[in-house]
Amino acid sequence: MKIISYNVNGIRAAMRKGFTNWLKATTPDVLCVQETKANEDQVEVAHIEAAGYPYHYWFSAQKKGYSGVAIFCKKEPRHIQYGTGIDSMDFEGRNLRVDFDEVSIMSLYLPSGTNVARLDHKLEYMALFQDYINQLKKDRPNLVICGDYNICHEAIDIHDPVRNKNVSGFLPVEREWIGNFIESGFIDSFRYFNKEPHNYTWWSYRANSRANNKGWRIDYNMVAQPLQENLKRAVILPEAHHSDHCPHMVELSF
């Protein structure tokens, strides 16, 4: 099973940049999308269906044109879970899960901490999310959580760890949380296969950052420990240019 996660920074804008052709050529079994910035009825879903994804699910923010997640599937899942049931987490459309017989796959868009109020919200969300996942794993042990975590874990995951040490996304409290999240029973699938530096998933639009590869690795496919033997491959796909992020893939063998 090939699973790709992609923060598209606006699904409609990405589709105007060739996203649908990329999807048709890449052919993941499941695509987890973040930052859709659209409701389903605002998207030309016929193009997504024509690309081979008749099963597509959307969980949008209450605020139009903001946040939102989606999952596109080649095969119909046996269950779709919209949100977490926790109002303070769900009003911005940040969690969506599909369950198959072998695996459950979540598209996650963790908040950014762009100012003090948003950082407080992010830290609250992180704590609630950890508790939610601790409970979910009891029923869904074969869990893959794909998405934009808005956190770099280690210095290797960011182009300038010294200058960014006080910037949200690389704050000690955020790094500690994601480290503890992994320790709670997950595998950072990319790092499982690749220990090399200079591998990023997001670049600022400023200062020609992407061309100079001055990026951050803030997107992850976190795979629950029971699936370790099923891990086959994990890669970042920086050749896709529909967003300020790029897609990243994990393959599981069942």
Task: Indicate the pTM of the whole model.
Answer: 0.98
Does 148 participate in catalysis according to the annotation? yes
d(CA 236, CA 234): 7
Average pLDDT over every residue of 14-23 = 98
Phi, psi at residue 98, to the nearest 5°? -120, 140
Location of structure tokens 């599909």: 98
Catalytic-labelled residue, pool 87, 90, 120, 148? 148
- Structural domains in the chain? 2-252 (3.60.10.10)
Per-residue model confidence as pLDDT tens digits over 152-206: 999 999 999 999 999 999 999 999 999 999 999 999 999 999 999 999 999 999 9
**Residues written for the chain:** 254
Our CA dihedral for 37, 224, 246, 167, rounded to 10 degrees, sits at 80
Asked if 215 contacts 203 with a C-beta cutoff of 8 angstroms, the reply is yes
User: Would you state the pLDDT for residue 110?
Assistant: 98
Q: Annotate 132-187 with DSSP letters as a single string.
A: HHHHHHHH--SEEEEEE-----SGGGBS-TTTTTTSTTS-HHHHHHHHHHHHTTEE
